[in-house]
Amino acid sequence: MSTFVWPMLLREARASAKRLLLFVLCIAAGVGGLVAVKAFSHNLQRAVRGEARSLLAADIVVRSSRAPGAAEQAALAQVQAQGAQVARSLEFISMARAPATRQVQLVSVRGVGTGYPFYGEVVTGSGKPFRSLLNDDSVLVYSALLLKMGLHVGDTLEVGHKRFRIADVLVKEPDSPVQMFNLGPRVLMTEAAARETGLVTPTSRLRYAALIKVPPGADAGAMARGLQERLASSFASVDTFDTSQPRSSRFLGRLTDFLDLVGLAALLLGGIGVAGAIRVFVAQKLDTLAVLKCLGATSRDLLAVYLLLAVLMGLLGAALGVALGYGAQLALPWLLRDLMPVNVQMAWPWAAAGQGLLLGLVTTLWFALPPIWALRQVPPARVFRRQVEAEAPRKGRRRWLAPLRAGLSLLLLAALLAVWQAGFTKIAGFFVLGLAGAVAALHLSALGLLALLRRLPKPAGFELRQGLSSLYRPGNQSGAVVMSLGLGVLLLLAVFLIQQDLLRQLVASSPESQPNLFFLDIQPDERAQFDQVLASHGYDRPELIPVIRARIAALNGKPLRLDEVHDAHQRRHLRFEYSLTYRDRLVDGEQVIAGHFAKDPAIPGPQVSLADWFAEDSDLHVGNTVTVDIQGVQVRATVTSIRKVDWANRRANFSFVFLPGALEDAPRMYVSALRVPDETRRVTLQRDLVNALPNVTVLDVEMIYRIIQTLLDRIGVVIQFMAAFCIAVGLVILLAAIATTKYQRIREAVLLKTLGATRGAVARVLAVEYLVLGGLAGAVGAVAAGAFSWGLVTYVFEGRWDLSLPPYLAAWAVTALLIAGTGLVSSLDVLMKKPLEVLREE
């Protein structure tokens, strides 16, 4: 075999080096994106695993949203008796005040007890150990807080009813390393100091945690299981360092899973490019193959040459992709810099390289095998009757067979790879269906538009007519180019549109009447003072809504035992600490879907209206009962109505609304909301209110939106970074298509020049072709992106989708120009060839 196969293979590689390079690049761009994500997520996971204990700051953490009850206290006492150390931590949001600058700021307060952290380190600005800086009268704060409030280390900061000295800058907490997920900058203090602020009350929203360090030699897993059993029916959750992941790394995990699939889409596009390139390559080899068969080469020899060539090209492309991916992963930590829980050491994991090579090779062979396999059919007698057989047009049903088979084959590979990458998961299913839908829609609309253009009356101008007819040149792959570039445009633009829509939903579309300041934790005896402060700023007293904190104790009289609820989703909902309210009427955005929202005199005792989701989740109907536990007092209420609630509207919405006469004596606080359009007035109102009522928390919605916006921006950039790989593949396919048809183009250009066309006219012909191609790709991509974002915004986010043309037009124009530019630059030699050179070669 080797005397013929290897020399022939090398000669083919030499003769078609440029074209094969494009084939290699298709695979390289596809594999590059995947390897970048894989290497990054591998390194991230390794870093998170390596710092698992620091990221929890303990071996085991017991969390609860309520002050530890007797069962929890007893369980903790027991592990302490076994030699474990326990440190407490509690967190809440509140307002911090700076007496020096009179500024106020929403902060995320954390009080930590002795022993914290058992692992990892609290990093301070001065580098001194934080325990030496922190006492019951001092705090550590993030530098962002100092900047916002105009403060310095050593200044005074007030939280609740207590005054603190800012002892140092807080650089990093081991177990809460990402600031972006906090509503306000962190203020770290001792647990005792947190209690002295007066903000730890039964009505406040708190997060308690008990951090546990197991004694040396003890089994953390066994101790955690013991705790889990003892606390099964309580509302506490137990995490261990190897089961828990910080929120940010869980989030990054999900994000990289998603990016992995975007990378897979790029690879599949690369495969489509390979399929096209191979098909054209092979079509141009038919004569050579017939001659070789005449000279005695068997089908097996020929299969060996071209299959080996494909394998080598695939491996080369995949290897190049691995190198590209390793390079590109360096960008990911930077793009995600505010979301990284740990310092990721960049490494070059073999697993990512191996997978990249394998994926690249499988994709190449998958797409290259069918056209190469068909080479066996080339009749050697073709050397005599080429002209007769050359172009027998496929008719009727058979014309659809090949694209259909190609589509199914793509779908099958997509499914195989998605399952390989993501397992038999919902996301893999969505990916395959979404990709199939997108590819089919894009391809069909590309072909449809091309067919439509062909049927339109021919335009009068020579350049225009000639450019348009070039689109249908055999081997031009116009459909594949439009589809793959369209998919890139779809991804890039859809991400942008969805981001814009969500933000608009949150920020811009908020009607004038919607409040933008929320006041939480107003105590009953502070109502008069609250009114006063608002009146001094010229505002009428807004409605004060009573809020009572409670959790579910029983459903239909049957006491709730969380360990008997097997559905994790439902268990999470039942474990919530709910906010209840009472009133006698419905408010905007509420709609009764069962029962009546009115007190039924026939029913004794409290009556409640449930939100539809909770009723559904817990299988409760009108006439059933639900028992809530309000600080140890159980209140059993009959469900008299079920409401649909518009959660997206900007008001205080409640899952449980009691009818008057049941909760008026329960411990409660009030919330209120106000619209203050002017930012300066908003700031001064916050300042005066918080200085007068230190325990009131003010949420400035605009500020929260800014946090969400930053988060969405970060995610958007990363997704667009990956989508760029799809665009790269699309451009390579375009280049490959141009290269495969270059000879034809040159001949045509020469012919035109011989007939008197100037170089400018030939350039205009090419420009028309590429502009139309780019215009089509941009158009189908933009329309598909619009449809996709509409579907997602309307049905998944349940928001309102708005059509704003500029982003579509921009995407369309940029695509058209990008393709026209790429096409023209790579066709320069078509323009430069002298007629005689070409004619002599004939």
Partner 1 sequence: MIELHALSRSVSMGGRELTILHPLTLTIPRGQFVAVMGPSGSGKSTLLGLMAGLDAPTSGEIRIDGQAITGMNEDALARFRGRHIGFVFQSFQLIPTLTARENVQVPLEIQRSPGAVPRADALLEQVGLSGRAQHYPAQLSGGEQQRVAIARAFACHPPVLLADEPTGNLDSRTGAQIIALLQRLHQDEGATLVMVTHDPEIARAAQRTIQLLDGRVVHDSAPAPAGEASAVAAG
- The one-letter amino acid code at 680 reads T
Bridge partners of residue 699, in order along the sequence: 518
SS3 sequence of 99-116:
CCCCEEEEEEEEEECCCC
To the nearest 10 degrees (0 to 180), the angle between helices 286-294 and 382-389 is: 150
Taking the least distance from each CB to partner 1, the nearer of 8 and 699 is 8
Cite the DSSP H helix spans in 212-246. Answer: 220-230
CB 305, min distance to partner 1, A: 11
The structure tokens listed for 344 are 């990721």
Question: Which sign does the torsion angle of CA 38, 41, 43, 45 carry?
Answer: negative
DSSP letter for each residue of 151-167: --TT-EEEETTEEEEEE
Cα 605 to Cα 423, 468, 619, 628, distances in angstroms:
52, 79, 21, 13
> Whose Cβ is closer to partner 1: residue 10's or residue 67's?
10
Q: How far apart are CA 414 and CA 234, in angstroms?
A: 45
- Closest contact distance (angstroms) between CB of 281 and partner 1 is 11
In the complex with partner 1, the residue whose CB is nearer, 12 or 521, is 12
Output 713 or 841, the one with its CB closest to partner 1. Answer: 841
Task: Provide the 8-state DSSP code for 541.
Answer: P
Nearer to partner 1, 89 or 740 (CB): 740
Closer Cβ to partner 1, 616 or 841, answer by number:
841
Q: How far is the CB of 385 from partner 1 (least distance, A)?
A: 8
CB of 841 to partner 1, least distance (A): 5
Binding site for partner 1 (CB under 8 A): 3-4, 7-8, 11-12, 14-16, 287-288, 291-301, 376, 379-381, 383-385, 841
Find the shortest distance in angstroms from Cβ 787 to partner 1.
46
Q: By the 8 A CB rule, do 1 and 303 touch?
A: no
Q: Looking at beta carbons only, is 388 or 568 nearer to partner 1?
A: 388
> In the bound complex, what is the minimum distance in angstroms from residue 379's beta carbon to partner 1?
7
| Closer by beta carbon to partner 1, 5 or else 502 | 5
- CB 295 to partner 1: min, Å: 4
Instruction: Tell the residue number behind the tokens 């006219």, with chain if given.
Output: 761
C-alpha 717: how far from chain center: 10
Q: Is 88 within 8 Å of 209 (Cβ atoms)?
A: yes
Pairing of the two strands 656-658 and 607-611: antiparallel
Residue number, 297 or 435, with CB nearest to partner 1: 297
Shortest spacing between CB 262 and partner 1, in angstroms? 38
Cα(710)–Cα(719) distance, rounded to whole angstroms? 14
Rounded to the nearest whole angstrom, what is the least distance from the CB of residue 825 to partner 1 in the complex?
A: 26
Q: What stretches of 291-392 adopt beta strand conformation (E)? A: none
Three-state DSSP class for residue 63: strand
Nearer to partner 1, 301 or 688 (CB): 301
The DSSP secondary structure of 646-662, one letter per residue, reads: -TTSSS---SEEEPSSS
The per-residue DSSP string of 763-808 comes to: HHHHHHHHHHHHHHHHHHHHHHHHHHHHHIIIIIS-------HHHH
Closer to partner 1 by Cβ: residue 238 or 277: 277
Q: How far is the CB of 43 from partner 1 (least distance, A)?
A: 45
Nearest 5 degrees, angle CA 59-CA 61-CA 64? 175
Residue type, 591: Q
For residue 475, the 8-state DSSP code is: T
Minimum separation from the CB atom of position 31 to partner 1 (A):
28
- C-beta of residue 510 within 8 angstroms of C-beta of residue 516: yes
How large is the greatest C-alpha to C-alpha distance in the chain, in angstroms?
Answer: 104
Closer to partner 1 by Cβ: residue 7 or 459: 7
- The conformation of residue 562, written as its DSSP 8-state character, comes to G
Residue 5 CB, nearest distance to partner 1 (Å)? 9
